[in-house]
Structure 1
């Protein structure tokens, strides 16, 4: 009976998403933190930054690659990201008849910290090592809350008042679930995970600036070697590699959306050498900037 209820709930959630995301692509909504996604066929791997939040698949399947390690999740499963991560993502199962359907809900870290402080932990986080990506099955309570959040899009006058309450409920349910220990690693004041999360937030806002590992480590209240160890454990890459990925992805977006040439994009994101930018761009994306942007534009036509 439980499995049939869960399957019915996942099916209802898929119907809600399909009704709004009628065309293939990523669909932003009137709820800024919520986006809905539909793909009619498997996709090529795409470099992107996953923000702190919850990804849910209700039809089809997806693979996320972090530092060369794949994470798979499919219909009826949720993916929790506890820190902003540079990943390679692609849909692995989708068709015209049964398209991939999913959602992404990002979280305000301050809200997570506030709610975690109010709820007693179900498990000791010391017993469970931090993992920036965790996959767990959906449960009926979480499905119900997510469904109500999507249905709220039909009542725009109530979004401002009810959306924060449903978001808080979702975070509470995650804290009480098997995802809970991973959220608590980030929410525990003074923990290595929270300090790394704070540094990641700073890097996202200041990735064009030169960075000193000693300065970053000091701001995280760690020695440089310990800082590098914890940073790599949380993000899959070193601090300098993380900054480089942020720069390259921003440059790629600027070239694609604003028709900038490679040299201008390189200077905009903090590179002093255009040739170094082109070398690192090719290593990251597999092609020169010019060829890569041309390929992406052709794919959009």
Structure 2
């Protein structure tokens, strides 16, 4: 009986998400909440995640983080524990059965308050990205959150309480280990953040792991292990993904040549830049520049960019 009730709530929630997604003014009514609907597969793209939980209601998505591939689908809860760039693609979505998910940014302050009020639980091992069964109680709370989007006044007064409830429901479920890890790793992540912040600000500069470890006030071996535990990838891979993410933004702006963009993100060779870009996004930068509406390179640069 409970299973049937949850299925009915999920079906109603899917309808509400699609309806609100098609009316942007509604799903913008609640801060730190985003709705995702895709009516067909989407090619891999580089995305920068922040601490977030996803209630996945239908369809399937693939995430590639360093050498790890993670698939998740409707009926699952996904927790992103740290800031990290990763490749994502929607692998299962159709017009009659689109990919549907609700994204909620994790408020670490609220999370810490909840953990302090709840009974202690044995420590588990969370990962930078965790996939868990979707708890029925979280489905019900998420449905009420999306319903609030229909009334800006209701959303303004009640949304924070419902978001807090969703975090509580997840903490009380199998996904609680992932959220607890966010709280317990706060000090380590703050130290790792010194290094990632520097990488964000120096995309064009070469990196030396020993210098990053010094910024994090850790030994080389401790830093490398902590960085990989926190982000799921190595410092070098992380920096490379950041560079390519920025390169794609510059390509979309169409304000620079490919050579200028490759130099801006630290590539000495435009050909190597193009190969890495194509490996990450599935198409050469010149093709993306054309797709964005204007060719951003001269004909003399085209040969190098297409390599």
Output the TM-score relative to the length of structure 2: 0.81
Whether 2:216 is the aligned partner of 1:202: answer no
Match of 2:163 among 158, 164, 167: 167
Counterpart residue number, 1:133: 129
Q: How far apart in 1 are the matches of 2:195 and 2:15?
A: 36
Residue 91 to residue 279, structure 1, CA distance change in 2 (3 Å): closer
Corresponding position: 1:18 with 2:18? yes
Whole-Å separation in 1 of the counterparts to 2:159 and 2:194: 29
Unmatched runs of 5 consecutive residues or more in structure 2: 295-307
Tell me the secondary structure at the aligned position of residue 55 of structure 1.
strand
* 1:191-225 CA distance string (max 9 Å, x none): 545643x3476257525374553343234342112
For residue 190 of structure 1, report the CA deviation from its aligned partner. 6.0
Q: Which moved more, 1:186-195 or 1:42-51?
A: 186-195
Per-residue deviation, 1:245: 1.0
Q: How does 1:2-17 map to 2 (within 5 A)?
A: 2-17=2-17
Note the C-alpha offset of 1:187. Answer: 0.8
Q: Which residue of 1 aligns with 2:46?
A: 47
Counterparts of 1:90-129 in structure 2, within 5 Å, are 90-122=89-121, 124-125=122-123, 128-129=124-125
Give 3-state SS (helix, strand or coil) of 2:149's partner.
helix
Question: Match for residue 150 of structure 2?
Answer: 154
Distance 1:261-1:112 versus aligned 2 partners, 3 A rule: farther
Q: Sort the Cα spacing of 1:96 and 1:287 in 2 relative to 1 into closer, same or farther, 3 A.
A: closer
**Structure whose CA Rg is larger:** 2
Query: How far apart are residue 53 of structure 1 and its match?
Result: 0.6
Q: 1:205 to 1:44 in 2, by over 3 A?
A: closer
1:61 aligns with 2:56: no
- Secondary structure of the corresponding residue to residue 233 of structure 1: helix
Identify if the C-alpha distance between structure 1 residues 214 and 108 changes in structure 2 by more than 3 Å, giving closer, same or farther.
farther
SS in 2 for 1:222: coil
- Structure 2 contact 9–140 (Cα < 8 Å) conserved: yes
- Please provide the CA RMSD for this pair: 3.0
Deviations along 1:61-107, one digit per CA (max 9) or x if unpaired, are: 22222223222222221111111232222222222222222122222
In the alignment, the residues of structure 2 paired with residue 81 and residue 280 of structure 1 have an alpha-carbon distance, to the nearest angstrom, of 25
Partner Cα separation in structure 2 for residue 209 and residue 94 of structure 1: 37
Q: Residues 90 and 209 of structure 1: is their aligned pair in 2 closer, same or farther, counting only changes over 3 Å?
A: closer
The answer to whether the 8 Å contact 1:84/1:200 transfers is no
- For normalisation by structure 1, the TM-score amounts to 0.83
CA distance in 2, matches of 1:175, 1:190: 17
Cα distance in 2, alignment partners of residues 200 and 36 from structure 1 = 31
Instruction: Point out where structure 1 has 5 or more consecutive residues left out of the alignment.
Output: none
Q: Residues 254 and 193 (structure 1 numbering): CA distance in 2 closer, same or farther, change over 3 Å?
A: same
